[in-house]
Amino acid sequence: MSSINPTQEQINSVVELFTKGQMLEAIDKLEVLANDFPEDALLFNIRGACYAGLGQKDAAVESYKKAALLKPDYAKAHYNLGGALQEICQLDDAVKSYERAIALEPENAEAHNNLGNVLRELEKLDAAINSYEQAIEINPNYVEAHYSLGLTFHDLGQLENTVNSYKQVVAIKPDFAGMHNNLGNVYIEQGELNDALKSYKKAIAIKPDFIEALYSLGMIYQEQNLLNDAIKSYERVISIKPNLAEAHYCLGDIF
């Protein structure tokens, strides 16, 4: 009696092609296997990943849908379907797919985080915050979830909560220059210039040619009447990006 599922060797041969980036070859092999094993959800899930790798988003959606239909308790297929639906801006359906994946695998931090991203796109910000917080509860070091949570708090104008989330990011990933810069920007919004100054300096220490941080640093120095320091910052900006009109204007304003 023949098996209703492909052998592990057959699956591995397809996965190897996928891993090597040989998507078309993998799809060709999957089509043959799908003819022999039409009820195997894994084959359609892998095919969805191949189509996604090729940028064929609609085909990826259809493959993931087929996998989820064949095996309704296949959490990974629902998760992948959620991502593919998000890619084609079918956001309400993406929410349902992520929710289904979470119902099957409640400890999937990535699914909670991605659900939060979709909810944020739908401007359901309180629900997005809840999803990010659940992701962080599962994985306290989940940088992307802390970052997205901070962005959502910022959308709501909750600057103190934004700062706390961004601080979590840099505590986990101290070399994240962009987040030190973002933290500085929020401090500026709060009127906390000294804290902003420290954050921009950290960003520049990590990435010396960070134009945005250098420019913001110059503006703070200028605001505090530390003109020599402001001049150095603006001159550094101009040395990196000579055509940045704002830096030339600020430098000229000092002179």
For the whole model, what pTM was predicted?
Answer: 0.89
Angle formed at CA 188 by CA 186 and CA 189, multiple of 5 degrees: 65
* Tokens (6 digits) for 16: 């190897």
CB 140 within 8 A of CB 109: no
- What is the per-residue burial (b if ≥16 Cβ within 10 Å, else e) of 217-230? bbbbbbeeeeeebb
Q: Give the CATH number of domain 176-255.
A: 1.25.40.10
Instruction: Report the alpha-carbon distance of residue 51 to residue 26 in Å, rounded.
Output: 10
Note down pLDDT in tens along the chain; length 255 residues. 346 789 999 999 999 999 999 999 999 999 999 999 999 999 999 999 999 999 999 999 999 999 999 999 999 999 999 999 999 999 999 999 999 999 999 999 999 999 999 999 999 999 999 999 999 999 999 999 999 999 999 999 999 999 999 999 999 999 999 999 999 999 999 999 999 999 999 999 999 999 999 999 999 999 999 999 999 999 999 999 999 998 888 887 887
CB 117 within 8 A of CB 139: no
Q: What is the CA radius of gyration of the chain?
A: 24
CB 73 within 8 A of CB 108: no
**C-alpha dist (Å) from residue 12 to 19, 29, 46:** 10, 11, 11
* Tokens (6 digits) for 123: 């401007």
Instruction: Report the alpha-carbon distance of residue 37 to residue 157 in Å, rounded.
Output: 53
Q: How many CA atoms lie within 13 A of 56 on its CB side?
A: 14
Angle formed at CA 59 by CA 54 and CA 64, multiple of 5 degrees: 105
Instruction: Report the alpha-carbon distance of residue 21 to residue 84 in Å, rounded.
Output: 19
* Domain edges within the chain: 176-255
Q: Give the residue from 108, 114, 161 showing the smallest Cα distance to 137.
A: 108
